[in-house]
Chains A and B, each alone.
Chain A
Amino acid sequence: MRQRVRIMVPLLAAGMLAVGCTGGGSTPAPQGSGAASAPAADQANPNDLPRNETLYTSGTQWGPPANFNPLREWDSATGTKGLVYETLFHFDPNAGKLTPWLAQSGSWTDDTTYEVKIRPGVKWSDGQPFTAKDVAFTFGLGKMETIPYHQLWEWLKDVQAVDDQTVKFTFSTANYQEWDFNLYNRAIVPEHLWSKLSEEDVLNGVNENPVGTGAYKFSSHDQDRAVLRRRDDWWGKTALNMEPKPKYIVDVATPSNEVSMGLLLQKGLDLSNNFLPGVANLVKGNFGLTTFYKDPPYMLSANTAWLVPNTTKKPMDDVAFRKALATSVDVKKIVEGVYGNLVKAASPSGLLPQWDQFVDQGVVSQSGFSFDKAKAKQMLAAAGYKDTNGDGLVENKDGSKLSLSLIVPSGWTDWMEAARSIAASGKEAGIDITPDFPDYNALVEKRGKGDFDLVINNERQLSNTPFTYYQYLFQLPVQKVQNTVNFGRYENKKAWDLVHDLDKVKTDDIEGMKAAVSKLEKIHLDELPVIPLWYNGLWAQSSTSTWKNWPSSAQGAPKFAPAMWRNWLEMGGFEALTQLQPAAS
């Protein structure tokens, strides 16, 4: 998602033309000898990985693998959590259910007590048995203030290993939705090693020799890659009857998307989780590349891109203005023109397609919005925004000039184009919007401090519950610096209380969840603190030259999300690896 292809698009088109001409539509480009030399020779040398047993991935790691610390969920090396360390549960977005992983089962014994039975016979990679104490220890680490899940302890009272197989969690407030989220997101670390570490090392340690329960171990790493090797004594082989097929996984740190594209075409890469504009042409052509869908939008949806207005500034503090703004945005143009249909337009609620069952269509049809230039003009006029100086653009209610800037990070070319498109359609409706492209870090700072008019953001991924979505929208209190949520600084006590209410609905109570979500949806659409635009894709391009049976919408194909992205290995990424088949046989 970082650097977008800029100059490569025309070049790529030219290159593809050339390939098309020379190859006459047959398989292009003979295999590069660099990444994939003869397997027979490889086996003789223990330092070489046999191509047919190795999976090459990219798109997660953007720099050298810096640490192997599973608590650093945001910058640890790819696979640290998910391949090396594991969680108690996995989450299956298709079924909307948790699947037991390190836990054999888990249940609420009463309203505020959760009991986990862990799987017997699981061993850490150093041979020590995995016990309930490790689980209790891991969650106990959260008591340290600097641990990312420290906040859990505001409503978790106690965690105890009752015996070797049983862990008991006692809550002061049972936030069922958030708890499920924690169950499949927290990597369990071994007590016998981690209890010796200082707080400093727990948070900042490199953890050079990670000891996990997972199916892989790191075997080496360098500035531009990390190599994982399968553990043949992994517990899941017998307990889950699963085995990830690649013996080795090489995760390539991609410096740019162009290079990913090159590697993919050279067949030196099997799975690229990069955003590759124009990939639709490659999928349609005979390049041996596949994506989840054969047709638009090609990818599963991973998160929602919103237009976030700063609700503390005029005129964005006016609901009527925000609604007119939302009505002025021509999302279809962005989806088709900027993305070439690689993404889907968002529903007015912005809830991801995987959460479709929670969308209250009644609320949407009553309070939703859709692109309509004439209506946007009308709404502006009705709300008192008039064009007094006759330049075709409306002024503030008090007659002062209305001019907004929309910021997106410099270099994110698709978002830059989208911002231009939003500005253009805004101007047609009479709202003066100027796109502005500050450096990413400068943008983060402005966004955090509330020093902006409009910003595009997508920092909430799919999860087990719409709770995380509405937490992003409504979280209170608004701080001096807003780090991850509610960048628009929207304050609505009632909405935040409703988010808490949703949190307290049991996760198997779908009807209860629907009812709570419906109320939030209504507030969202009536107040529009953020304007949903489109669903960003789970970018995944895979090459069928070495591995086949990639997840796809086709009949009989696996339906897991093919992603190595952080926190996605628990949401189907790992399962997708178990479904692969060598292409040769």
Chain B
Amino acid sequence: MRRYFGRKLLIYGLTFVVAVTINWMIPRFMPGDPVASMLARARVSQPEAVEAMRAYYTSLFGFDQPVWQQYLGFWGALLRGDFGISIWVFPTPVSTVIMGAVPYTLALMIPSVLLSWVVGNRLGAYAARRKLLDNTVLPVGYVLTATPYMWLAVLLAWGFGVILGWFPVAGGYSFSTRPNWSLDFVLDLLHHWALPFASLFLVALGGWAIGMRNMIIYELESDYANYLSALGAPQRLIRRYAFRNAVLPQITGLALQLGVLVAGALVTEIVFSYPGLGSLILKAIQNQDFFLLQGTFLFIVLGVLVANFVIDIVYVVVDPRTRAGMAGATA
């Protein structure tokens, strides 16, 4: 057990170092000079003033140092939890910007990914056994997974937001209110959260349901199910076994899904103008904000690694074969 987790941790550690290094490299190889665009935005035309400002900002962001020094400095600052200052929302520290966005993204993504997984699996499992359900859930599921996400989101925003006016089309909460601990505010938050959540939930739901349905049908036709049935085991029991076996690949799928979690949020947050990490990434790229980009990517990398680690643990719990394998290895 210890060796298993030790090995996993080592792999995750290596992944982290590589990811951080790439993360540091990418913005620096993008075309364009962030200080130049910052100065261009400042609309200062006097050469002396421009030069003074350029020198000042270049040293402030450390661009005047040799590249290897910038890299080491980056690790040093990182370990201190310092992501630098955002260029786009100068002079706010990157960590502040990210922390303001993270709750929205997590509140959107975690429930939609987990709920769609749970509900999708249930639906799929039922669909595998009932003709009526199979004939309805399956086509709808296919349509939902095949729908370009962007399109569904825009349709939802337009239909429920603008035409029917049931839901707001922008923001994390009403523009007329201030965050406070009241029921009204929580309801308001939910009101703004509903549409983006629904769009993510719906698109993911179809995929899970289809996958689960196919898995269950496969399991129900496998030898052990036939054998159990021949032994006269009740149908309920067989289905329980089938479900347990069918859910394993779905867990792997979930782990993969968590990996693209933030990418999914990106489009949602842009369409619904929801203030999360996704919109930050877009803005950071557009404004060549190295530091913000690094910060958000780092956050994503961490998130993916942690999610995968959790899934590893879950695997050990739900799949006895993993445990058996580890016991064999240590024995």
Contact = CB atoms under 8 A, between A and B. Distances in A.
Do A and B come together as binding partners? yes
Interface of A: 2, 7-8, 11, 15, 18-19, 22, 28-37, 42, 45, 47-49, 51, 54, 56, 63-64, 66-67, 72-75, 145-148, 150-151, 203-206, 220, 222-225, 227, 250, 252, 254-256, 259, 262-263, 265-266, 268, 438-442, 444-445, 448, 459, 471, 475, 477, 479, 481, 483-485
A185 B163 CA distance: 42
6 contacts: A34-B188, A48-B184, A74-B42, A148-B43, A255-B170, A445-B33
B49 interface: yes
A255 B48 contact: no
Interface residues of B, number: 67
Nearest to A410: B286
B100 A259 contact: no
A489 B283 CA distance: 31
Nearest to A477: B47
Given A47-B178, A146-B53, A479-B47, A223 B275 contact: yes
Contact of A225 (B32, B49, B91, B171): B171
B175 A444 contact: no
Interface stretch (B16-24, B106-114, B154-162): B154-162
B185 interface: yes
Nearest to A448: B36
A392 to B, nearest CB: 33
Given A145-B48, A483-B39, A256 B273 contact: yes
Contacts of B172: 223-224
Interface in B88-129: 88-92, 97, 100-101
B50 interface: yes
A475 B43 CA distance: 14
B32 A255 contact: no
Contact of A438 (B31, B88, B97, B168): B31
Contact of A32 (B32, B34, B154, B161): B161
Q: Is the interface of A mostly helix, strand, loop or mixed?
A: loop
Contacts, number: 210
Nearest to B101: A223
B296 interface: no
Given A49-B177, A439-B32, A444-B32, A74 B165 contact: no
Nearest to B282: A255
B182 to A, nearest CB: 7
Contacts of B44: 148, 483-484
A66 B161 contact: no
A440 B42 contact: no
Interface of B: 30-34, 36-37, 39-50, 52-53, 56, 86, 88-92, 97, 100-101, 154, 157-158, 161-172, 174-180, 182, 184-185, 188, 191-192, 270, 273, 275, 279, 283, 286-288
Contacts of A32: 161, 165-169
Contact of A63 (B162, B164, B169, B283): B283
B25 to A, nearest CB: 17
Contacts of A28: 163
A206 B91 contact: yes
A34 B168 contact: yes
Contact of B179 (A204, A222, A471, A483): A222
Nearest to B47: A479
Nearest to B180: A47
B177 A268 contact: no
Nearest to A65: B89
Contacts of A36: 176
B296 to A, nearest CB: 14
Contacts of A204: 90-91
B93 to A, nearest CB: 10
B31 A445 contact: yes
Given A74-B43, A483-B40, A19 B192 contact: no
Nearest to B157: A262
A263 B170 contact: yes
A153 to B, nearest CB: 10
B32 A441 contact: yes
Nearest to B38: A75
Contacts of B177: 45, 47-49
A73 B180 CA distance: 32
